[in-house]
Amino acid sequence: MSSTGSEDPTSAMDQKKRKRMLSNRDSARRSRMRKQQRLDELSAKESELRDENRRVANTLQAVRHNCRVVGAENRVLRTQAVELRARLESLHGILNYMSAASNDCLFSVPWNLLMINQPMMAPGDTNYYC
């Protein structure tokens, strides 16, 4: 009496239903596992990107600081270049004056023209000798 033709039709439907339920459960379990794996991968990628973002932000901050330092140095150098050009023009004037008065005694040249070794100051210094 256990022949396949004599089985109860509801029993066969129940067995198919149970088989389908087991298959669905297995499929859902695999789907949850894939979803969890993808979530873990995305979390790892997020952590990696946050670390990279921190490194880039630190590098940017260092570059901005260096840019400010170089800008300040550049301003000092430009100011010194202007002062040196002015002194060079003054020295050319003194040389022209001295060559024109080459027959005169050196002491006849005004004293303020002979004081060419004056110290140079940076723009932030308050005591100027010029």
pLDDT band for position 10 (50/70/90)? Answer: confident
CA atoms within 13 A on the CB side of 38: 6
Phi, psi (deg, nearest 5) at residue 115: -90, 70
- Secondary structure letter of residue 32 according to DSSP: H
| Most confident among 10-24, 51-65, 92-106 (mean pLDDT) | 51-65
- State pTM to two decimals: 0.50
Q: Which SS3 state, helix, strand or coil, does residue 42 take? A: helix
pLDDT band for position 129 (50/70/90)? Answer: very low
Q: Which residue has the tokens 């670390």?
A: 51
Q: Is the pLDDT of residue 130 over 50?
A: no
Q: Which residue has the tokens 């023009």?
A: 89
Output the average pLDDT for the chain: 84
